[in-house]
A = this chain, B = another copy of it.
Amino acid sequence: MKIAIVGVGMIGGAVARAARGLSGVQEIVGIEPLASHAAQALELGLVDIVASEVPADADLVVLAAPNEQLPDWVVTLRDHAGVVMDVGSVKGYIVREVRRRLGETPANFVPCHPLAGSEKHGPANAPGDLFRNRLVIVLPQRASSAAAVRRARAFWSGLGAILHEMDIDTHDRTLAATSHLPHLLAFAFMCSIRDEDLRYSGGGFADFSRIAASSPELWWGIFRLNREELLQALDGFQNQVDALRAALVTDAEADGLALLAEAAGRRRQL
């Protein structure tokens, strides 16, 4: 099996590293325009070769390029003989843009989203076993071939992931709430902190704000590409903040305690 990985940053690098452990994988080809990432990926042995184009004989093409570029790649590879999977955080804009240009998504294309990541970036930060026991959402399209979906699922299963199928709208709404919103809030929180207060941060602060160290470019892209769902999730959050603020201002203990208990109860389910 020959695997091509478009974009060998942290996630692409982690896919490469994990795929090394799969039986039958003979060659991993990286497509990476950033010279420093390309050199690192080669040096670390994540990829066997760096190419400027996806080889025609690749069995699997993993698109881990910046989100904005994914529709272009799907269109470019529409007739590729291998299976094409993206690993992006937002799905609706890809499918809409590809359909606008091609009328339908290609049969070889299976959108995927591994719920695994890190605030770090670059292939040097690619963890060795990022996908084991982590959820990978597979989003087969009506035009996706059954064989392509089967191979996509088999690939992630081989990396130890737990598979879950979802439709595009549910995905973008769910991820807005569970991932994009907390990132936006953590960024806003860190903007509100004074530099001189940083030294008084305890473990709660550190965990709460960890994701605010994530790449601004990556996350601005995600926020934009999932804007409507993110704004809806933000409205939902804002309602809860307003309710808590009102309870605090009016010293309404029963209301305040009920809100905190609801939150704590839900969090303890995790």
A138 CB to nearest chain B CB (Å): 13
Question: Does A24 sit at the interface, judged by CB under 8 A?
Answer: no
Cβ B210 vs Cβ A260 within 8 A: no
Range class of the A interface residue count: 35 or more
Query: In the complex, what distance in Å separates the CA atom of A234 from the CA atom of B245?
Result: 9
Tell me the bound Cα distance from A204 to B269 in angstroms.
Answer: 16
Residues from chain B with a CB closer than 8 A to the CB of A260 are 187, 216, 219-220
Chain A 245-265, CB-CB to B under 8 Å as 1, else 0, gives 100110101001101111110
In the bound assembly, the distance between CA atoms of A189 and B116 in angstroms comes to 20
Mark contacts of A76-108 with chain B using CB atoms, 8 A cut-off: 1 yes-contact digit, 0 otherwise: 000000000000000000000000000000000
- Of B116, B212, B233, B259, which contacts A264 at CB under 8 A? B212
Who on chain B is nearest to A177 by CB? B197
A183 at the interface (CB under 8 A from B): yes
A142 at the interface (CB under 8 A from B): no
6 pairs of residues in contact across A and B, judged by CB atoms under 8 Å: A188-B244, A191-B240, A191-B244, A195-B266, A219-B260, A230-B248
> Which chain A residues have a beta carbon within 8 Å of chain B's beta carbons?
115-119, 134-135, 137, 174-175, 177-179, 181-195, 197-217, 219-220, 223-224, 227, 230-231, 233-234, 236-241, 243-245, 248-249, 251, 253, 256-257, 259-264, 266-270
